[in-house]
Amino acid sequence: MKIGFIGLGIMGKPMVKNLLKAKHQVVVYDIVKENVDAAVAAGAATGKNSAAIAAECPLVITMLPNSPHVKTAVLGKDGVLEGAKKGMILIDMSSIAPIASKEINDACKEKGIRMLDAPVSGGEPKAVDGTLSIMVGGDKALFEEVKPILACMGSSIVLCGDVGAGNTTKLANQMIVAGNIAILAEALTMAKKAGVKPQTVFEAIKGGLAGSTVMNAKAPMMIGNDFKPGFRIDLHIKDLNNALETGHKLGAPMPLTAEVQEMFEILHADGCGSDDHSALARFYEKLSGTRIAD
């Protein structure tokens, strides 16, 4: 199938490569030339802009940083809707505010465009190996139609409800991940100050009730003082801002999410915004004067 793909960042590039490995034709666009060049080197073709890609592809995927970027790419000048033909499918795999997904879907409906929101979880490693968790919102029949394409990029693909439900689910995911990373950093810092090696604590508890995918991925990074980004702090700040905005509009109290968000904001102010979100360990190092890593 000929697939348009808009947005070739940390996640988008490997997702395109997995579509190419599955023998799909992929036409790409990104405002960063180096990203486009990398996709072309892997076998993709290029489009002049989002409208041009939509004009030649029956299915277009967007993978962009936040709500305004998706709105510009889809609704703006030279955007997807300018070039799209009636019946085209848009899958927005960005992590954005659910209300923005619904607004974009409404505009798509007016043009006869079918849309799903399908944000992902798993970070760059799972984008590379094609095992992302994909949370989908939209029509069930459309979901079933495109599920084989999503399966080229993910191993868990779940329909969560109507358009917007995918991003609501992703926000819940990001809240839980942030809380897990924060308490992990807090616990390992306490252990270090008590004279117990964080590596020993990790090995002892990872098979018990406290064990989690988050712990398995992030504890070794904290212990190794390795904060090369799989998922950057600044992106998590964006997600938690969307979560707080959504929660406030719904009347859902979110004190723990707000607390972790402030920790991330402090790290951003300290110049750590491009670090992996496991660098919450640095927040506790700042408070305690103790580093988890040896």
Catalytically active residues, by annotation: 170
Task: Report whether 240 contacts 267 (CB < 8 A).
Answer: no
Give Cα 159 distance to the centre of its chain: 17
Which residue, 138, 94, 95, is CA-closest to 113? Answer: 138
Structure tokens given for 262? 């402030």
Task: Report whether 136 contacts 156 (CB < 8 A).
Answer: no
DSSP string, 121-150: ESHHHHHHHT-EEEEEES-HHHHHHHHHHH
Distance CA 29, CA 49 (A): 6
Taking the CA atoms of the chain, what radius of gyration do you get in angstroms?
Answer: 20
Task: Report whether 92 contacts 118 (CB < 8 A).
Answer: yes
Which residue, 73, 81, 71, 78, is CA-closest to 104? Answer: 71
**Strand partners of residue 10:** none
